[in-house]
Each structure stands twice: as structure tokens, then as C-alpha cells.
Amino acid sequence: MITPIPWPEGYSAAAAFTFDVDAESAVLSGMPHMRDRVTLMSQQSYGPSVGVPRLLRLLDGFGIRSTFFVPGYTAECYPATVEEILDSGHEVAHHGYLHESLVGKSRQEEADILDRGLEVLESRFGVRPAGYRAPFWEMNWHSAELLVDRGFRYDSTLMNADHPYLLSTPSGPIVEIPIHWGLDDWGHYCFIPEMAGNAQFTSPQNLAAMWRDDASAVLDEGGLWTLTNHPFLSGRPARVRALATIVEHVLDRGDTWVGALTDIAAHVESLDLEPVTLTRPSLDADKS
């Protein structure tokens, strides 16, 4: 059973504002022919070129530290953006190389993707990331073990709790920082021809109201509220303005610790938690 955890002295809950800097990689991973669509590629490049600087100004204004999940391909294409994130004091974490879906990938295929992304971040920026988030939030049952083998301290991919916990793997435990599709801007703001959305965008004010309500409920229960935004989506002016109201709402509570995921993971590691084991469901067909 995954139970609530104590937070640092003076806080009864925690929140994190995280960003997936997918840029072109989210499209090219499954549809490489899309690179010939100039308008679409320009939309994706808006994230690192315009959205990230605007979001960094927002975070700086509130004095909070965040986590940016950066695919290796994005880091190669936009090194100045990665440097700006790091220079601003934020965490850069692993998000695949080309934002590859891991569904059906073998252990070795997945390991190769992990290592390629690690090589880019380490060789170009001197970053050995502590955290990982699977592209499309799709892991395999062997994924967490691969992360532990490479020295990752936390993952932020699973959806089975309102609190962080220690996830058991054959190679040792890793901190799991849960997320949820409902706390992701993709389903509300994203339109990619032939790939995602129907161009019926959610009003930033309405989405902010929904997220504020969700934050209040989770934080009232002493949980961890983790929001995921994509700079090519939520980096646009009206959406950043709406995001600011959510940050204000969380900070105004006065009881909520807001930080980067690596800081939250370090806190979880300091607690004497029993690792949780996840079991792959069996079916009758498995017995035949």
C-alpha cells in the first residue's frame, strides 16, 4: 500500500511545476516525414526558442525551482536553451533521445535509447541527470531496473498514487514521483495535424480553474501535486498568464513546498520507506 509521507518541517504538502521540452522530437519520433511540413516544425520550435525563455521568466519571478525533461535530440538542436535552463538554476532531466515510444521495445532497445540520451546530456552539458520521465508516459516492466542500473534516483512516469514512494526493482529501489494525464497540457492545448487534437482548444482560464481545484484537493490531503507543461504549448502568452495564477494559488496556501523533482526525490530518500513492488497482471492465456 502506498501511504502519505511527511514533508519537510513547516510544510504539509508539496507541488512541482515540470516541463517537457519535446520540440520537434515528439513528432519526428513516430512520423519522420513530418520534418517536411514547415509550419508544423515552426510550431514545435516555438517551445525551446520562445516558450522556454518566457517560462523561465515566470519561474524566476516567483523564485521557484523546476525540472525540465529534455530529449537528447532537443538538447542537440537547442544547446543554448539547455544552457539557459541550467544557468537559471533549474534541473535538466532525461526524456529519451527522440522522444521514442517504449511500447514493445526490448530491454536492449530501451537501454540503447537511455544511453544515447545520457551521452548527449553528459558530454555536451556535463549533466548526469538524476531523473527520468518516459516519453508518452509509457514504461515497460523492465524500465525501472534499467534506470537504477544507470544511477537514476527517480522516475516520474507512473500514475498509481498521490504521493511519491520507493519503487522496488531487482537492482534496488528508485523514487517514483507520480503524474497523471489530467495534469498535462497536451490534451487541452495540442493540435498536430495527423497526430494529435482536433483544434478545439481549452480556454486557458478554464483550464487554470480546473487545475487550481485539483491542486487544492491533492494538497489538502497532504499529497504531491505535479503539473506537466510543454513549452511549445503552454509557453504562449495567454497560457503563461493562466499558469501564473496556478503558481500564485499554490504559493498563497503557505503550507506547500514547491521544488524541483530532484529535491523532492532527495527528501523521499531520506525517509525510512518500504519499497513498493508492482506486479504485471496475469491472464488465463498466460497459464496455457
pLDDT tens, position by position, 73-98: 999 999 999 999 999 999 999 999 99
pLDDT at residue 225 greater than cutoff 70? yes
Q: Judge whether 92 and 129 are in contact, CB under 8 Å.
A: yes
Query: In this structure, are strands 174-176 and 165-167 parallel, antiparallel, or unpaired?
Result: antiparallel
pLDDT band, residue 62 (cuts 50/70/90): very high
81: amino acid identity, one letter: T
pLDDT digits (tens, 9 = 90+) for 237-280: 999 999 999 999 999 999 999 999 999 999 999 999 999 999 99
CA-closest candidate to residue 243, choices 273, 281, 205: 205
Q: What are phi and psi of 8, to 5 degrees?
A: -55, 155
pLDDT digits (tens, 9 = 90+) for 127-156: 999 999 999 999 999 999 999 999 999 999
pLDDT at residue 288 greater than cutoff 60? no
pLDDT the model gives residue 197: 66
Strand partners, 128: none
Q: Residue range 218-244: average pLDDT?
A: 98
End-to-end CA distance of the chain: 31
pLDDT the model gives residue 198: 66
pLDDT the model gives residue 127: 97
pLDDT the model gives residue 195: 80
Helix (H, G, I), strand (E, B) or coil at 221: coil
In terms of Cβ atoms closer than 10 Å to its own Cβ (0-12, 13-18, 19+), residue 54 is: middle
CA-angle at 205, arms to 225 and 227, nearest 5°: 20
pTM for the whole structure: 0.96
